[in-house]
Structure 1
Amino acid sequence: MVISAATDPLRRLVIVLGCALVTACGASPDRDGDGFDASDDCNDANAEVHPDAAEICDDGIDNDCDLMVDVADAACSGGSGA
């Protein structure tokens, strides 16, 4: 296959973008800036949700990434707060 000079810049762009995607997929970036990467953070789009967060007992969210929500979480007592 012969690549013309006109398509060469496009080919380079595809290679660069492909490498960027592979790098991003290979690593688990911290998208929300809370100090936990996507492999540890159960919601990497919300900086208030991460493994070291306190469980807020009445918001319907697993704030501390322990797979327990609100009153089901041992950190909560009757849903009144952490």
Structure 2
Amino acid sequence: MPPLQAGFAGLYKVLGMPVVPVAVDSGRFWGRNLPHGSGTVHFLVGEAIPAGLKRDEIEARVHAAINALELAPQPSA
């Protein structure tokens, strides 16, 4: 569970907007600079996390949402 970037909490506080977690699996097809395969990229969108939470709570909820999205079953093509 790597820490979120420092700017995340600042933007969350200043903008006062909900956070919508999104998981993208494009890393399966991209290397450092060039694609190394073909296929379908999936986007998984989680439930909005409300604005106004304290930093430790928003970070915990974002990490939980990311983990839930990564464990979600992938749609079949």
**Greater RCO, CA 8 A, separation 6+:** 2
Larger relative helix fraction: 2
| Larger Rg computed on CA atoms | 1
- Report the TM-score, using the length of structure 1 for normalisation: 0.24
- Report the TM-score, using the length of structure 2 for normalisation: 0.26
